[in-house]
Each structure stands twice: as structure tokens, then as C-alpha cells.
Structure 1
Amino acid sequence: MTTAVVAGPAIRAGIQVSGRYLRDGAPVHLVRDPIADRSFEIGVKEHFVLTRLDGVTSREEIATGYAAEFGRVLGPGAWQQLLGLLAVRGLLEGCPTPEPAAAKRPDRRNPLGGSVRLVSDAAATTDRLHRFFEFVFRGWFLIPAFAAIAAMLAGAVRYGPELAADTATVFADPVALMAVATALWVSVGLHELGHGVVAHHFGGTVGEIGIRWQLPVVIMYCRIDDYLFLRSRRHQVATASAGILVNLLVLLPVLPVWLLLSAQDPARPLLGALLLLGLAQAALFLLPLPPMDGYKMLAHSLGVLHLASGSRRYAGRALAAVIGRGPGTADYPRHARLAHLGYALGAGVLVVSIVTVVAAVVHRLITAHFGPVAGAVSAGLAVLIGVSFVLPRKPADGRRGEVQK
């Protein structure tokens, strides 16, 4: 007599499960419910079970595989606890589906800060942009584009002194400076749209496109709901780098036009300043410090969640172990130890270098105009602002995978 094998429960259609990440040395996966717009972390054991709840594989088959993989029996109590948790979260077929997240969150506004949506359907807008600019993902476009960017960077080095002189001229003219600043602000908006279009190309979903302000800063943002659920690290790194590439592509026509203009042309200083400041802006985005794109690119290439805050905790544990306090870092796998230690040292050196240079420049400029006391105070303020970058803070990896500045 043959006993029928009863299929196990199934995860609700549409639930997203990420690849493996490291968080504080522990391997984790992310699970997202797109309807409720909620995400949470699970361990590798829970991931093993979750990804096999397909409505076809039986509990017995899953339990047998679990025992072979982890050397532990998945007993009735563990099954009950796991399935109960999934049911409460509304992740199982047949369980009550969670209330859907509001189709349109209310704009958050106050005199000093807030945000407002620019489009009612960000996904549809991104899809239209993607169809229009789909050619940029082709090799016939990318290879010449990267070659042109390399030529532009070489030209900027070659004509650096002249570009710096043009920038100084623009800084002395408030109207010209406002024109260049406006152009750079627009390029930041294009930068954000670039993130969204590339994420869409790799299967991501853009949830919002809008304007956010925290006076005196006003910026455009593009929220990608499932950024951390893209299929591969390569797709995540490409999405994070897309904004910088857009900034550089926008600058490509500037250098040849600048070269064609005579030295007496009033537009030449504007273009020279736009090129130099635009390249400086792209370099700023490339810094491996949160929340910059360079930081996200590095964290995704390493497969580490909350790299900056995790590295601070790692360094704290390592220092505590040196003086005989705390468990140390032996429980971190080798890859995590290298990633966190390398980032802690590299970011520390980078921050100290930037703070030192900025403080020296501020001290020199302020001293020349207002005297040594004002110069010393200004340099001290620059140091305090720089130190704030290394103080503990909320992880800057982005709410729901948001890519923003």
C-alpha cells in the first residue's frame, strides 16, 4: 500500500527573496512583501526552508534536506514556529493578505523640510524613459561613451589651470555662479532618474520620483522599492553607478564647446566652471562614504549590509578585545573580517585626509579676509563637521533600498 505524500504549504506569489548578504559577519537574506511594502531579514536556515515552500515539495522532503544541509532535525515545534511567523506576516497562500500599502503616500511638508511627488505613477514614467533611452545599454553606445569620458577627463587635466581660472571668475560673479549652480542642480535630477532607469532595466521597481528639501538643500529623489532584491550584485553596482555615469555623459559636450570659444567670449568661463565643478560633483558622488554612490557600489560589490555602521562595530569589538574586554571578532568569517577591517581603516584615513585639507583651506581663506582668530574658529568648525562623519548614526543604506543623495 502506497502512502501519498502531502505537499507542504506555499509562499504567496510575488514575495521577493534576496540573495545572501553579510550583516555584522552573519549571513542573512532579505524578504519583501510588495503588497504591504515591508521587508525583514532571515537567516540561512529560514531561507533554506522558505525557498522550498512551493506547494509541491512536502514537509518531509524539506526536513530531510534541512537535516542533510545543517545536521539538525527540523522538528514539529520548529515547523509550527516558522509557519506561524510566516502566517502572521501574511506570506503563506491561504492566509489573510496584509493590508496593501497606500497607493499614494501623503506628501510630507513643513517650512523647513519635506517632500512632494512629481509624478503620480513613477513606475510608468520610468518605463517610458527606459524605452526612450534603451539604446544606452547597448555596447555600440557604451564603448564609445566610456572612451569619450576618458578623453574628457584627460582634457580636464590638460586644461586644469584654465578651467580653475574660469571657475574663479564665475565665483566672483553672483549671476554667473547662480547659472552654473542651477545647471548642476538639474544634473543631480538627471542623476536620480538615471538610477531609476537602470534599476528598471534590471527588473527593479521605482516607487516614487519627487523633490525633497531640508533647507537650505533642495534635491530630487528617486525611490527604488526593491533595489536590494535585484538579481545580482553586478546589477546593484550598475544601478548605484548609473547616476555618476549620467553626470559625466551630460558634461561630454561642454569641453569641445569650451575649446571652440575664444578667451573673450563671456560664455567660456561659464562652461569652464560647469565642467570643473561638474567633475568635482561626480567625484564627490564617487566617495566611498555614506550615503554616496561610491559607498553603495563598494557595499554591494562586497555583499555587505550596513557596511559603515558594521565596520564601526567591528572596530569597536576588535579594540575591546585588545584590552581584554568583549568576545572579539573570532565569530566573523574571513570575508567579513577583511571587508569590515579594510573599510574601517580606509574610511578613517579618507575622512581624516578630507577634513585636514578642508580645514587647511578654510583656515587660509578666512584668515586672509577676517584675521587669524576667525580662521582658527572656522577651521575648528570644519573639523567638527568632518568628525560627524565617523560618529555612530542610523545606517545610511537607504529605506527600502532607496537610492538618493
Structure 2
Amino acid sequence: MTVPGLHELPPRVRADIVLGAPLRRGDSTVHFVKDPRTGWFYQLGGREFFLLSQLDGRQTRAEVETAYADRFGRRLGSAHWTALLDMFRRRQLLVEQTEAGAVVDDDVELVELRDRADQQRRSGRRRLWYARFPIVNPDRFLRWLAPRLGWWYSPWFVVPALVAAAVCVVLAVSRAGDLYAASRMNIGHPLAAVSFATTWLVIALHEVAHGLTCRRFGGAATELGVLWRFPLLTPYCKTDDVVLFARRRHRVYTAFAGVFVNLVALVPFTVGWLLSTPGSHAHALAGSLLLYGTLTVLLNLLPVLRLDGYFMLNHAVGMLDLRQETYRFWTALLRRRGLESFRGRDRPIHVLYGLTVILLAGTLSVAVLTAWYVNLSRWVNPPAAVTLLAAEAVGLTLLIRYLRRRRARLAAGQPEQAG
């Protein structure tokens, strides 16, 4: 491969390549780079990303190397330069420039990369405990809809809506017992189907809101479909472009958009509960929607689950995977080695998040075990109930370890993750 001379123009990055914002992982910085023509998302380290961002078609190799040396304190050797250019070429991120200033593009290679990305997406969609079933690409519709719903993002709508929703949440928590009792009235009644259908509609709108907000801030929502995540079957919307947004608040807004829909939906449910006649089926319907809608909001906001609250926090602190990094931090802290790989400003975040996870996960585990033990005790004697709980705990632990190892093996075998 011929390496450009110091005063020659090197290949330039393709004009349609999208360069993502910096994300922290330990003491390093990573960036996502998207190729919209193939659908691939590439993850680059800080040095590789900086070099790619400098290949703008105007700077000579000497100028790029000088900028690299100014940024990282060392010059880029010829072997390293050649290796990086070859890597970018294999991924079809560059276009070659001729002496006349024209560019050369390899459409055949791009088609092959697009086919590989499609094949990997299809192979990763369906497993026993996790599967995605795409139904439609909503991006064109959301591109049309986004400018027409600008009022939805206005502070004049958002602030009053959040205040009203907060009142609804407080009411639902304070009257949880009454709501639960009312919701049981419709068990076996035709209105139970209405409750289920309404819940599914709210969840679907929740996912559409993620896609709409991603579209508003310049991203794309490429899939809308149904997700099987054992034991739940729910709608989903694919918004991978969020990792490319330069502003953290845009990433946070995109993650929060779904919860915002759930919060707004609580307002009519509360009005229906307050205005309907106690003891009626309409009262029971509104009560069940308000109760389970509130539970959905609170669960989504818990930062210990990989739901909207976790991703909001992840985006807010600018990290690639806060949970994984916190796990690494606490492992290093307990072993008393390896802490130097974590930045000083990140350590308080990992301490607080780790303590929060321990507190919430411990509380939730005790509540679930207590409830399960009470129910088992009705069928078997207490020693047998304890034995069954212990066996289930061991089985669940082994399953989690297996899934984590399998996920790690898959990740190690697929360094170039497609979106």
C-alpha cells in the first residue's frame, strides 16, 4: 500500500460518515462512528478517532501528523500511520483523492459491508430468552412528524405536564391500597382487555417518543417492532444514533422521552379515577391504569435496571457503560489494586452508584424473597420453602453467570458491532 508523502493529501473521510461524541470508559475515551450506507457502528479509541477526524481532504500528511503530535505529545510513525489507514480503508470510511482532486469510491466493498451488517443484525435478533421482531422502519414518518410536534418539547408544555404528573404519582402512591383493591374488580371482566390494550398502547407511544426525540436531535430511528425479553413481550424502537449526539442533554432527553409519555398518560387516568363512581367498573379500570402506570414509571426510573433511568444517568455522566465500569471500580477497590485506571472525578460517581445499586437491589431482593416465601409457605412447610428458595437462588446465579460469560464471548468475537 502506497503511503502519501508528507506534503501530499492523504485519503479523506467520506462526507456521509457520522463522527460521535467522546464517551468515557475507565481512563480512556472512545467514540462511535456510523456508516449510514452500510449500517455499521464502529468503536474507535481517542487516538484513532482523532486521526480519522483530521482526514478532511484539506490537510497534508505533515499537517495531520503535526496536529496529532500537538494533541498526544508524540509523532505518528510511518508503520502506525499505514496500519491505521489500512484499517479505515477496510471499513470503507475513506475515499481516495487523485491529483485532479477527484475521489474514488468502492461501491462493491460497501455492498459487502452492508450485507454483513444485515446478516449480523438478523443473527443477533432471536435467541431463546431475547428476540426482536422488526415490523416497520419509522424514520420517514418520524422525520415528517418531528417538526409538527415541536410544542411537545416546549417548556410551556413540558413543565406543567411534569408538575401535573408529579401530583398524579403522589396521589397513586398515597392511595396504592385503594387502587389495588379497585383494580381487582375487573379480573375476568371484559374491561380487563381494555386495560391490557391501553397499557400496550402507552408502551408503544413510549417507544415512538424515543424515536421521535432521536429524530428531532438529528438521529434516525431505524426499527419499530416487538421485543421478547423473557418473560415480557413489549414494543421497541431502535435509536442507536443516540451515542452520536454531541450534547449530553440531547442523549438524556432521548432516554427520558418514553418515561415522559408514561407520566403524561397518568393525568387522564387520574382524572378518570377521581371522576368515576367508586365501585363501578370504570372506576376499577381507571384505578388499575393509574396504579400500574405509576409502577411502570418508577421501575423505568430505577438506575439499577437497564431501563430508561439507567441510560439517562449513563448519558448524563458521559460514560459508555456506567454499570460495568462501577463493577470494575468496586472490584479494584476491594482488591486494592487497579484504581489508578479510574479518573479522580469519576470515583465519587462509582462509589455513589455502587452504594445505590447495593441498597436498591438488596431491598428489592428481600421484598421478592419475602413475598415468595410467604406464598410457598402456604403450599409446603417452612423448611421446604427455604430449601426451594435456596435451590432457585443457586440456579438463578448459575444462569446469570452463564449468560454473562456467553455475552462476553460474543462481544469478544464481534469487535465491530453493527447498529
- Normalised by the length of structure 2, the TM-score is 0.82
- How far does the alpha carbon of each residue in 1:167-189 deviate from its partner, in whole angstroms, 9 at most, with x for none? 3444x547555543332222211
Gaps of 5+ in 2: 1-5, 97-104
Of stretches 205-214 and 373-382 in structure 1, the one that deviates more from structure 2 is: 373-382
**1:92 counterpart residue number:** 94
Shift of 1:304: 1.1
**1:352 counterpart residue number:** 362
- How far does the alpha carbon of each residue in 1:31-86 deviate from its partner, in whole angstroms, 9 at most, with x for none? 22222222222222222222111101122122222222222122322221221211
Shift of 1:19: 1.4
Do structure 1's residue 241 and structure 2's residue 276 form an aligned pair? no
Shift of 1:258: 1.2
Do structure 1's residue 193 and structure 2's residue 195 form an aligned pair? no
What are the within-5 Å matches in structure 2 for residues 4-403 of structure 1? 6-94=8-96, 96-97=106-107, 98-99=110-111, 101=114, 114-119=131-136, 121-170=137-186, 173=188, 177-213=192-228, 216-321=231-336, 327-368=337-378, 371-372=381-382, 375-376=385-386, 379-380=389-390, 393=404, 394=407
Alpha carbons of 1:370 and 1:280: their partners in 2 closer, same or farther (altered >3 Å)? Answer: farther
Report the Cα distance in structure 1 between the residues aligned to 2:128 and 2:252, rounded to whole angstroms: 36
Shift of 1:205: 0.5
Shift of 1:372: 3.2
Q: Secondary structure at the match of 1:72?
A: coil
Report the Cα distance in structure 2 between the residues aligned to 1:206 and 1:136, rounded to whole angstroms: 18
Q: Secondary structure at the match of 1:221?
A: strand
Report the Cα distance in structure 2 between the residues aligned to 1:110 and 1:80, rounded to whole angstroms: 40
CA RMSD of aligned residues (A): 3.2
8 Å contact kept, 2:273–2:286: yes
Report the Cα distance in structure 1 between the residues aligned to 2:268 and 2:158, rounded to whole angstroms: 16
Shift of 1:379: 4.7
8 Å contact kept, 1:228–1:401: no
Alpha carbons of 1:190 and 1:387: their partners in 2 closer, same or farther (altered >3 Å)? Answer: farther
Identity of aligned residues (%): 29
Alpha carbons of 1:10 and 1:113: their partners in 2 closer, same or farther (altered >3 Å)? Answer: closer
Alpha carbons of 1:258 and 1:369: their partners in 2 closer, same or farther (altered >3 Å)? Answer: farther
Report the Cα distance in structure 1 between the residues aligned to 2:390 and 2:59, rounded to whole angstroms: 64
Alpha carbons of 1:267 and 1:387: their partners in 2 closer, same or farther (altered >3 Å)? Answer: farther
Of stretches 6-15 and 95-104 in structure 1, the one that deviates more from structure 2 is: 95-104
8 Å contact kept, 1:351–1:386: no
Q: In the alignment, residue 42 of structure 1 is paired with which amino acid?
A: L
Alpha carbons of 1:287 and 1:62: their partners in 2 closer, same or farther (altered >3 Å)? Answer: same
Q: Secondary structure at the match of 2:213?
A: helix
Report the Cα distance in structure 1 between the residues aligned to 2:155 and 2:133, rounded to whole angstroms: 37
Q: Secondary structure at the match of 2:339?
A: coil
Higher helix share: 2
Alpha carbons of 1:283 and 1:51: their partners in 2 closer, same or farther (altered >3 Å)? Answer: same
Q: In the alignment, residue 64 of structure 2 is paired with which amino acid?
A: I
Report the Cα distance in structure 2 between the residues aligned to 1:179 and 1:373, rounded to whole angstroms: 42
Q: In the alignment, residue 148 of structure 1 is paired with which amino acid?
A: A
Q: In the alignment, residue 175 of structure 2 is paired with which amino acid?
A: Y
